[in-house]
């Protein structure tokens, strides 16, 4: 269950499901399905099947290597890279710090909730931040965002986009019309100052429009302003 599949483990998906269950007041099974979809799978069963296939493939490769007398060696050290979605979140946090909308001092405040329209890597975007307790912030980025094309931008009441959630209010089928990527992560400030997780861990890639991932991978590496790019993930 702890084998990584597409950068995710079963334990990680289960942890996300617990959060979703609590936030949306749905059953554990429904939350597990949602968490699996957020991690890039069709559903929980799809993850389990994929994990099983990956495990069997690894065992087969190991057996073949042993039979051929091949000894695995540690890969050569290469230039450190950062997951492109994590890099996008670092850019967003830097922007919020520059504008003094959040701080690194770890002092929770009721006004540490909000959103701004900002330019990230030359494209209009939305950055949403929310204090979720223990000096921890949830940071969401809607990259390449076009508000005029959002189907619920000009509606009224609860149907109008209010930027209160980590994902757009519209049905996901409409995302490609108005946003390039939707990503969410958690910013720790009490035990340290860092973006939680390592590589793809604790990064929710809620949506990526076709072709956008390749562009994200080619964007310049962002230097965090007073915090670390990676760190321990607390449930």
Phi, psi (degrees; rounded to nearest 5) at 164 = -95, -10
CA-CA distance, 119 to 55, in Å (whole number)?
42
Look-up of token digits 């910013």:
187
* Residue range 167-221, pLDDT digits in tens: 999 999 999 999 999 999 999 999 999 999 999 999 999 999 999 999 999 999 9
Q: Find the range with the poorest average confidence among 37-41, 43-47, 58-62.
A: 58-62
Q: For residue 28, what are its two tokens?
A: 């554990």
Task: Tell me which residue of 69, 20, 227 sits closest to 135, measured CA to CA.
Answer: 227
Instruction: Answer whether residue 57 shows pLDDT above 70.
Output: no
* Residue range 221-231, pLDDT digits in tens: 999 999 999 99
CB under 8 Å to 209, separation ≥6 — which residues? Answer: 144, 175, 176, 179, 180, 181
Q: DSSP character for 174? A: G
Contact 125, 147 (CB under 8 A): no
């Amino acid at each position: 269950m702890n084998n990584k599949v597409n950068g995710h483990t079963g334990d990680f998906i289960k942890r996300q499901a617990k959060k979703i269950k609590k936030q949306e007041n749905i059953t554990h099974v429904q939350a597990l399905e949602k968490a699996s979809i957020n991690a890039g799978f069709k559903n929980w069963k799809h993850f389990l099947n994929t994990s099983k296939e990956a495990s069997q493939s690894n065992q087969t490769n190991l057996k073949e290597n042993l039979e051929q007398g091949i000894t695995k060696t540690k890969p050569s050290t290469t230039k450190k890279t950062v997951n492109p979605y994590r890099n996008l979140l670092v850019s967003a946090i830097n922007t919020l710090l520059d504008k003094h909308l959040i701080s690194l001092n770890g002092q929770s405040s009721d006004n540490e909730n909000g959103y701004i329209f900002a330019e990230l890597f030359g494209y209009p975007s939305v950055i949403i931040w929310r204090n979720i307790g223990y000096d921890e912030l949830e940071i969401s980025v809607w990259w390449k965002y076009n508000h005029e094309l959002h189907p619920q931008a000009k509606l009224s009441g609860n149907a109008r986009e209010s930027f209160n959630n980590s994902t757009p209010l519209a049905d996901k089928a409409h995302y490609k019309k108005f946003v390039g990527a939707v990503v969410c992560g958690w910013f720790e400030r009490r035990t340290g100052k860092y973006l939680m997780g390592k590589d793809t861990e604790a990064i929710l890639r809620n949506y990526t429009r076709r072709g956008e991932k390749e562009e994200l991978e080619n964007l310049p590496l962002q230097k965090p302003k007073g915090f670390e790019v990676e760190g321990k993930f607390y449930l």
